[in-house]
Structure 1
Amino acid sequence: MAFTDDLLEASEIIRSADSVTIISHIDADGIASEAILKEAVGRGKIPSESVFLRQLEPLMMKWVPKDDSLKIFVDLGAGQQNLIEEHGLLYEEVIILDHHIGQPSKTEYRQVNCLPYGVTKLSAAGIAYLVAREMDSSNRDLAKLAVVGNVGDMMAREGCGLVGPAREIALDGVKAGNVRAISHDLNCYGLSTRPIHICLSYSDDPVIPGISNNPNGAQLFLERLGIQLRDSEGQWRVWEDLGSEERRIIASALVEQLVAHGESVDRLFGESYIFPDEAPRSPLRNASEYATLLNACGRWTRPAIGSEVCRGDRGLIYQQAEEMLRHHRSVIRELFQYIIRTGVARTENFQWIHTQDQFPDTIVGIGAGMALSKLDRRLPIMVFCTLPDDPEVVKVSMRTVDRVVRSGIDLQAALCEASALVGGAGGGHAIAAGAYIPAGTEETFVRRIDEILARQSAQGTKDC
């Protein structure tokens, strides 16, 4: 069968269901996926319930109902089919929409997964959207949410823009009128909400000498170019406020800055995704910032609020989401500062830190990614933390950068192998992955990861 055949089959299965239960992950991709499906089945007059899980593991399976509804597992399930089977769900009760590596089980559940077809840059929200589009072509307006899921799950990171089916989905949004794809835009986070100099100072891909991690330096840089930083009302201007000539002046100067320091300009520009139906300067205006808001809802155990926002709430629910976003950013900033202040331990192949119970387990991966901007980006970073509700389990989060992945490093493979060796389980992607391991095995785990990364690195060098 072709990928399109799988999408068609899934759409027919869902359309024919009397009721559905959507079981989804709590990150931006999972929330966007759930919202797409919730909206699609609602338009099809199919009753639905939703269950959000931070991990599909034995203790969480109790939240998956055993009723007559069709269970749609999205952004999880492919690698945990044995758990679904052990839970007693039958073949005809389940369909999985996922983009993670699958693990076999005795029951071969119906599944839509892009990986077997060689599509690696498509998130679960992308798959959910393609199924929704097959259900009814009028669901093309939901492409906007798929863009949020794809960008939030770093599908645009490596290529500085969405590629393949993910970009085709973005163009569906362009046709629907609620997505603008801006080519050759600045490859930087915060284009719609952060003051221009702050936005530039947060650039870490590429790192711009004298500007990255240096707000004062960024401000002086812009002032020398004659860029007006505030509008007529005294409000800081954001990148989206700038005219084309101002953007050209800044872009040219940034290129000169990088070239003067012998740095590559390859990643300075990329394709950004703006939503013209959202208010200017809103966190919902830009795909990457929209994804951050959804992540905030999920990480602080309120994914359903993110779903309501995705499906149109701009009132009280949205205000709650904004408040969670502010809190989310504040705590991540504290975690980032903690990692930098405390320092990391190093092996030959990665760097790591154990935060114990200092910070919520739902944000340590994000903090790890941010900390890389101040640490040795040539080495992946690992962060351990304890779980407040289960002291016998330790959560592991790892992050790295595209350059390291291209050298042959695969964090998902490393964490899956190492966690299995100590009695845990892991998953994720080559650039960002996580695991749960028994408390007390951290020292052994560190050694195992170091050995695996050394092997991957050697193999990558050999392949080159």
Structure 2
Amino acid sequence: MKMSLHQRIKKASDVILNEKYVRIISHYDADGIAAAGIMCSALFRKKIGFCVSFVKSLGSKTIDRVKNEKNALVLFLDMGSGQIDDIEDIKSTVIILDHHAQFRESKIIQVNPHFFGINGTDEACASTLSFLLAKSVDEKNSDLVGLCVAGVVGDKQIPFKSLNKEIVEEGIKNGFIKKEKGLSLGLEPFFREGFNPTGDKRFDDSMIIMKLLKQNVKYDVIEKFFGIYYISEYETDALPFSDVLNACGRTDNEGLGF
């Protein structure tokens, strides 16, 4: 009988919980950094050791290095499904969390949404899968959903659909994420008005709307100036946070982002 996504996740978490150390290889973009951050936070809380490397692509050089390290458990994040033939030669136990189009199933524990009828292009990414795995390790890791959302946004999987949408809605329900509407585009010419940064943003937004209406700007145009913000419990907006993670990866500062 074919496993469901959550059964595959549970199998992976059972393997992790039986180890004292996990070797992690992750992609260097915002999704890969966020996925690693989620997973390593979960491991740290369980006092499981880890070592993380970020790479631009999973080539033979990286795979050979991992082979020679003789790790008990290796976890690939945001990569691996396309290199399954080479990865199968690794003697260690291997887990792959990847959302890119799969090539085939294998003896390796491979968590890929495409196997379960979920589109890995816009419905689930590595951060999505890492968050589900972290929750399976311990339900208390539900508070890491803010990192998950940053990874999803960084992977350009917006608007949220399917699995991503379920996770975001659950995060809002549990109070780990706040969904707010606010100004998302600059206005030119600028209005010479002050505002209270710690005050009621609804008042500031209403003031802007009223000024635009007085200038005969149509309401459907005004709506385009406003967008949805997803704020984590650390008061961090997912979009600029994902941009920071992406910038860290693109400038060879993955460790800083992590």
Give the secondary-structure state (helix, strand or coil) at the position aligned to 1:4. Answer: helix
Q: Which residue, out of 138, 142, 160, partners 2:144?
A: 142
Which of residues 70, 75, 78 in structure 2 aligns to 1:72? 75
Cα distance in structure 1, aligned partners of 2:51 and 2:139: 23
The answer as to 2:117 corresponding to 1:118 is yes
1:11 and 2:13 correspond: yes
Cα offset, 1:102, TM superposition: 1.4
Distance of 1:301 and 1:155 partners within structure 2: 24
| C-alpha distance in 2 between matches for 1:241 and 1:64 | 52
Taking structure 1 as reference, are residues 61 and 164 closer, same or farther at Cα in structure 2, changes over 3 Å only?
Answer: same
Matches within 5 A, 1:314-353: none
Match in the other structure for 1:293: 244
TM-aligned CA distance change 1:276 to 1:40, over 3 Å: closer
1:269–1:13: structure 2 CA closer, same or farther, 3 Å change rule? farther
1:114-149 residue CA offsets vs partner (Å, 9 max, x unmatched): 123232322211110101101111111111110111
Instruction: Name the CA distance, whole Å, in 1 between partners of 2:145 and 2:165.
Output: 10
Q: Could you tell me which residue of structure 2 aligns to residue 303 of structure 1?
A: 254
Conserved 8 A contact 2:150-2:241: yes
- Larger Rg over CA atoms: 1
After superposition, the CA RMSD in angstroms is: 2.9
Q: Name the residue aligned to 1:219.
A: 188
Equivalent position of 2:165 in the other structure: 167
> Which stretches of structure 1, 4 residues or more, deviate above 6 A after TM superposition?
none
| Partners of 2:26 and 2:36 within 8 A in 1 | yes
Q: 1:103 to 1:41 in 2, by over 3 A?
A: same
In 2, Cα distance between equivalents of 1:19 and 1:114: 26
Q: Is the 8 A contact 1:97 1:128 kept in 2?
A: yes
In the alignment, the residues of structure 2 paired with residue 168 and residue 251 of structure 1 have an alpha-carbon distance, to the nearest angstrom, of 32
1:97 aligned to 2:97?
Answer: yes
What is the TM-score when the length of structure 1 is the normalising length? 0.49
Instruction: Quote how far apart the aligned CAs of 1:264 are.
Output: 11
**What SS does structure 2 have at the residue aligned with 1:219?**
coil
- 1:47-96 deviations in Å (ceiling 9; x for gaps): 211111111122333442531321110111111212323xx314x61110
Equivalent residue of 1:103, what SS?
Answer: coil
Equivalents in 1 of 2:229, 2:113: separation in Å? 24
**Is the 8 Å Cα contact of residues 22 and 74 (structure 2) preserved in structure 1?**
yes
SS for the counterpart of 1:101 is coil
Q: Give unmatched runs, 5+ long, in structure 2.
A: none
- Point out which structure has higher relative CO (alpha carbons under 8 A, 6+ apart): 2
Q: Is the contact between residue 82 and residue 104 of structure 1 (CA under 8 Å) also seen in structure 2?
A: no
Distance 2:22 2:117 in 1: 29
- CA deviation map 1:250-283 (0-9, x unaligned): 45748x74778xx896x665532013424xxxxx
Compute the displacement of 1:242 (Å): 6.2
- Provide the rounded CA distance (Å) in 1 between the counterparts of 2:47 and 2:70: 19
Write the distance in 2 (CA, Å) between the matches of 1:43 and 1:73: 20
For residues 68 and 275 of structure 1, what CA distance do their matches in structure 2 show? 35
SS of the equivalent of 2:188 reads helix
Cα distance change, pair 123–264 in 1 and its aligned pair in 2 (3 A): farther
Q: Tell me, in whole angstroms, the C-alpha distance in 2 between the residues paired with 1:2 and 1:185.
A: 39
Scaled by the length of structure 2, the TM-score of the pair is 0.83
1:274 aligns with 2:238: no
Hey, what does 1:52 align to over in structure 2? Answer: 54
Residues 249 and 80 of structure 1: CA distance in aligned 2, closer, same or farther (over 3 Å): farther
Partner of 1:396: none
Residues 251/7 of structure 1: CA separation in 2 closer, same or farther (3 Å cut)? farther
Number of aligned residues? 249
CA–CA separation in structure 2 for the residues paired with 1:295 and 1:172? 25
Cα distance change on mapping 1:277 and 1:116 into 2, 3 Å: same
C-alpha distance after superposition, 1:343-391 (max 9, x if no partner):
xxxxxxxxxxxxxxxxxxxxxxxxxxxxxxxxxxxxxxxxxxxxxxxxx
Alpha-carbon separation, structure 2, partners of 1:241 and 1:55: 46
Task: Indicate conservation of the 8 Å contact 1:57/1:83, yes or no.
Answer: no
Q: 2-side partners of 1:96 and 1:114: how far apart? A: 11
Amino acid in the other structure paired with 1:137: E
